[in-house]
Amino acid sequence: MRVAIVGAGALGCAIGATLTEGGLETWLVRRSTEQVAQLQQHGLRVDDAAGSRIVDVHATTQPADVGPVDLVIVVVKSFHTEAAVRSSEPLIGPETVVVSMQNGLGQEDVIAGIVGRERVLAGRTYVGGVLVGPGHIRSGVAGRLSHLGELAEPVTPRVRALAETLTAAGLTTIACDDMIATCWDKLLVNVATGALAGITGLTYGQFYDEPRMVATASAAVAEAIAVAQATGVRLSMTDPAAVLRLAAEGLGPDFKTSMLQSLERGTKTEIDAVNDAVVRAGRAANIPTPVNDTLVACVTGIERAMADRLDREGTP
């Protein structure tokens, strides 16, 4: 199987390294010529529970250099979805399947509007990745599950076969028959830790050591659960404490959430696709979401301050 990962940041590299080591021809596709050159010349350094090693990965900035593949895994930030998928059309052949492994809600619809709904599967992953430096990541794949399913159907043979292939290559993947619920389950995890860690700058170890952080995270998750239930979503978790436990499972104390990593780099976060998705759905269902509203306001304010500083100084 030939696989292309569109959006080879920390998470994409963690998945790509796993599939490469598992024997699949896997290409990391990203825009940064500097990062791709680093990967091409020196490989990808991966730190995980097994130690530190160099993985010889395929990397490119040009999807046309790769050509059609069997599987495209999209892991770009939600606000880059349309542009990334359009630029990746050379990867799409007659039998190509495109899977979103992104955060938030609704990315599958964006992708389907470009490549056709029949090609698209929904996916979510609890795998973690932290960028340590150029061409160097800390990977959290072991013990973390990924989920895969049709957009609005029970498990099909192609979903089952793909889940088996990915699992055999080291990315443990479950075939799911209700991806709407699965996407909301993952959203709960993102709601729990993403914005709060981004605002405070706390790693997982620090975050879970602070009772007020855990209490606030639980309150944000409780709001999201109430909104999901009001809209008829069949969640697998309805206890905020269970969500907090799942969020930390398999990740070390120095793990940083995606939102924190974005803010540390001075780049835009996915707050609109995560906490603000809860706020918008809550508004539509007439469910109050004051904690998530506050988190959105704080992260949006940080982003505004970064943007204004860039305008004034030209540097982060």
- Render pLDDT for 115-172 as a digit per residue (tens, 0 to 9): 999 999 999 998 988 889 889 999 989 888 999 999 988 999 999 999 999 999 999 9
> What are the b/e assignments for 115-136, b being 16+ CB within 10 Å?
beeebbbbbbbbbbbbbeeebb
Q: By the 8 A CB rule, do 268 and 77 touch?
A: yes
State residue 315's pLDDT score.
Answer: 55
Structurally, the chain folds into a number of domains equal to: 2
Do 220 and 163 reside in the same domain of the chain? no
pLDDT surpassing 60 at residue 316: no
φ, ψ for residue 37 (rounded to 5)?
A: -60, -40
Task: Identify the CATH number of the domain in which residue 219 sits.
Answer: 1.10.1040.10
Confirm whether 183 is domain-assigned.
no
Tell me how far apart the alpha carbons of residues 29 and 6 are, in angstroms, rounded to a whole number.
5
Task: Identify the CATH number of the domain in which residue 148 sits.
Answer: 3.40.50.720
State residue 49's pLDDT score.
Answer: 87
Structure tokens at 83: 């542009």
- Going by C-beta distance under 8 Å and a sequence separation of 6 or more, which residues neighbour residue 136? 44, 45, 47
Domain that holds residue 167: 2-177
Do 229 and 260 reside in the same domain of the chain? yes
Do 46 and 113 reside in the same domain of the chain? yes
How many helices and strands, by DSSP H and E, does the chain display?
A: 13, 12
State residue 310's pLDDT score.
Answer: 83
Do 195 and 129 reside in the same domain of the chain? no
Do 210 and 155 reside in the same domain of the chain? no
- Mean pLDDT for 211-227 is 98
